[in-house]
Amino acid sequence: MNRTDCCLDCLTKKTCLWSDLRPVDHQRVLNIIKQHSTVRRNRGLFRAGESLRSLYILRSGSAKSWNVSEEGEERIIRFHFPGDVLGLGAISSGFYDCNLSTLDTCSVCELPFKPFQRLAEELPDLNYQLLKLMSREIAQEEQRIFLRANRSAPVRLASFLNCLSRSFGECGYSTREFNLTMGRREIANYLGLALETVSRTFSQFQDEGMLQVEGRRICVTNQARLAQLSGKYMGLDESVCPSRWVCH
């Protein structure tokens, strides 16, 4: 199978960084991508402080980026889902600024950074797409900080689940029924909440008829209410919400 064929069966081909490039330019990108690989659960793609070697495009599966606090505790920065580009934070310094671990079995495309950088300088359309992606990353981080600082536990969890639902929809999966690849403790860590608060809020949503919860299996039974509570009704910008915000 050649590299063009690998793109044809990719779930993220419509939202990928180079999806809008001309075929000839698309092929030039494909020529520098390393063959996509499978990464098992709980494996690391890179660690904080390592030199930037490659960016990674998540074809399938999910991952988390995290750092270690001064107290030695894990602090989750983001969850990542198909279509996300991993390692962007290393571009400014030349070193990865976080750790990246898989939450389940993932498929990734590895994009060696130096050849990609040279190609982006030659292709204005590719460079523009990269700038758009990095601008969206900044907007998403601002929204995440705002949400954690100013919103209640129900709004935080509803925003998380709504964005997760949309990210599955972007990949052609159900937006109403899905499995969480992260545990309650990881969700609490990411949202800046206590584990007990997250568990209690899940129960609240179930009692109010918004969700049916069985372990990590989620069924959204009132999607309109979840979307309303998640932020659009309260003034948050959903344009930065899809999988690129949370989880994703």
CB count in 10 Å sphere of residue 185: 13
CB count in 10 Å sphere of residue 72: 6
Do residues 194 and 34 lie in contact, with contact meaning Cβ atoms separated by under 8 Å?
Answer: no
CB count in 10 Å sphere of residue 191: 23
All residue ranges of the chain with pLDDT < 50 are 1, 233-248
Helices (H) and strands (E) in the chain, counts: 8, 11
pLDDT at 165 (0 to 100): 87
Domains within the chain, CATH numbers bracketed: 3-140 (2.60.120.10), 144-240 (1.10.10.10)
Q: What is the pLDDT of residues 62-118, one digit of tens each?
A: 999 999 988 889 999 999 988 899 999 999 899 999 999 999 999 999 999 999 999
Give DSSP secondary structure letters for 184-238. Answer: HHHHHHHHT--HHHHHHHHHHHHHTTSEEEETTEEEES-HHHHHHHHTGGGT--G
For residue 21, give the nearest of 128, 134, 113 by alpha carbon. 128
pLDDT at 245 (0 to 100): 36
Please tell me the distance from the alpha carbon of residue 83 to that of residue 37, in angstroms, as a whole number: 15
Q: Which two tokens stand for residue 178?
A: 């899905």
